Structure 1
């Protein structure tokens, strides 16, 4: 399977906004408007869908959310789709999407993380269309620290482009900004030093492969189904092997340990040349830390396992393109991820 990259966005293009999972409550509408203006200031027209609002766990019934997402993804006038944020149960959309129509449509950039992994990771695995695991719309007003990019930067790149991101070695220790009291916040609070961590041993790491992954708590429900067959994706699209990334949103270490064991048994890490694990604020369980949970489940893979990567629920955000060719470098004084929207970097 050939990975297909959507056309780069240009000023005047349309960006669709819909909530395939949770909607936005009344108290956070002002932040939503700030985020929409951020996209408009880049020169894009924002098209806001009907499945957007409410305080329930979903923005609308599954059939309505699926129709709206399909409409945006198959509309040649909409060049990117981004949700306000994630949620809990986007999994109910998967059997309602017309996967043949998605394969036939011109590729559209789809962006998001958290429960959006439930949509974007199968989209890449089943159709070959590259997607962006990166900031959701409500996070978009934040300025990226030096060394990192935002999804708005990546979707302007031409197929074949290569870019490298390096973490700022600082992150937020706890909590989130209050969008209700500070709807226009645009600077991350990065109050804690911290670098990437190799869990499986010592020594430098230089590994390459096709990038794919997402949120543990949502993807663990897809392994063993047609929507999460990583072994099939590796055979079809990644003869060079994979760089698999995973990140925990909030479940405790014992739960994450079990999730990762199940994913490994279902072949989710088949073909991995290395595993990248996002930094998390999720708690440990008794004597089991989140690092120990990962090592317990994945230490036997025989490949490097690098944790505390800036690709999860802890700011700042290092966007990763599902389907891109990746090259990770981990040394005592250098952490970086290079991505190429095509084959291997030259």
Structure 2
């Protein structure tokens, strides 16, 4: 059974921890600003001990896992939001207290990139809905027209409709060391969702997905069974969304083939691919990588959805019942948290 965390309310506590990369001293003012942004909106924010940057991770795996487990199991903490992703959160996946969490009330988990590594298994193993959206450090940015801020998704009690923005930015950010309170994306690119091969799309299914580079390492383990999730929780079918962070196209192609062989698309009715700035491999593009690995599936593929590492960010809820429409000038997704 799918389980959705109750909507966030002012006064709820939000836990901040870094299960992967921590925050350097030079960016602590940005972290403080992001925490203050949430507090100004009425949330009680608890910042954990695993927040620094002694290495590529915020601390020993035992400490990171213990703090994450504590926050996920604390009934007073209604959301857990890391500052950002990182590189090797996979080292704590088997240290999560899965048995205790199976009996716990679900908590909102928010983030993307390496956060996918431990967030997606919460959905696949426990049926917890999880929120693939901006990390804490991105939270102060004003939502672009057409997109709902993650805090509004987590507080919603009805359907959430978003649509393509038509704009994007390569980096998109200001310099947080110079201006820790930066809140407006620099979006100087133009582009919108495109269905591979042309035409339109009108499909409904359960959302599931995340970052290709990190999620692909879960295949073949007890933590990445999308095929099982489809059988157990998605009578309506699946809408699988994926996004490349930074790996060259040929590496992404290999990863996507691995996801295909692991059954990730067995129950899919459509595939959404996030806009990416990841490099090509010579003349072999990121779009070529997707078509090479997934074009044989005879599924509609929608490119350049705002769910990747290129801002702005369209929050998607793993487990939500989604309706995606691409028709004429309409490029829209509606999510129901049920």
TM-score by length of 1: 0.96
Q: Give deviations 1:307-342, integer Å, cap 9, x for gaps.
A: 100001000000000000011111231111110001
**Do the aligned residues in 2 keep the contact of 1:24 with 1:55 (CA within 8 Å)?**
no
Residue 110 in structure 1 maps to residue 106 in structure 2: no
One of 318, 322, 328 as aligned partner of 2:324: 328
Distance (whole Å) between structure 1 residues aligned to residue 172 and residue 141 of structure 2: 16
Deviation at residue 288 of structure 1 after TM alignment: 0.4
Of 141, 150, 162, which aligns to 1:165? 162
Whole-Å Cα distance in 1 between the matches of residues 171 and 62 of structure 2?
36
For structure 2, which runs of at least 5 residues remain unmatched after alignment?
A: none
SS at match of 2:217: coil
Give the match for residue 118 of structure 2: 119
Partner of 1:256: 252
- For 1:63 and 1:51, the matched residues in 2 are separated by 11
Residues of 1 paired with 2:138 and 2:213: CA distance? Answer: 20
SS in 2 for 1:221: helix
Corresponding residue to 2:195 among 198, 203, 219: 198
Residue matched to 1:228: 224
Residues in 1 aligned to 2:229 and 2:177: alpha-carbon distance in whole angstroms:
41
Tell me the residue number matched to 2:292: 296
Cα distance in 2 for partners of 1:256, 1:57 equals 23
In the TM superposition, residue 171 of structure 1 has moved relative to its aligned partner by 0.2
Counterpart for residue 68 of structure 1: 67
Asked whether the 8 Å contact 2:171–2:311 carries over to 1, the reply is no
Runs of at least 4 residues off by over 4 Å: none
Distance 2:255 2:313 in 1: 23
Q: Secondary structure at the match of 1:220?
A: helix
How large is the RMSD of aligned CA atoms in angstroms?
Answer: 0.9
Q: CA deviation at 1:174?
A: 4.2
1:55 CA drift (Å):
4.7
Say whether 1:37 aligns with 2:33: no
Cα distance in 2, alignment partners of residues 300 and 317 from structure 1: 29
Aligned length: 338
TM-score after normalising by structure 2? 0.98
1:271 pairs with one of 256, 259, 267: 267
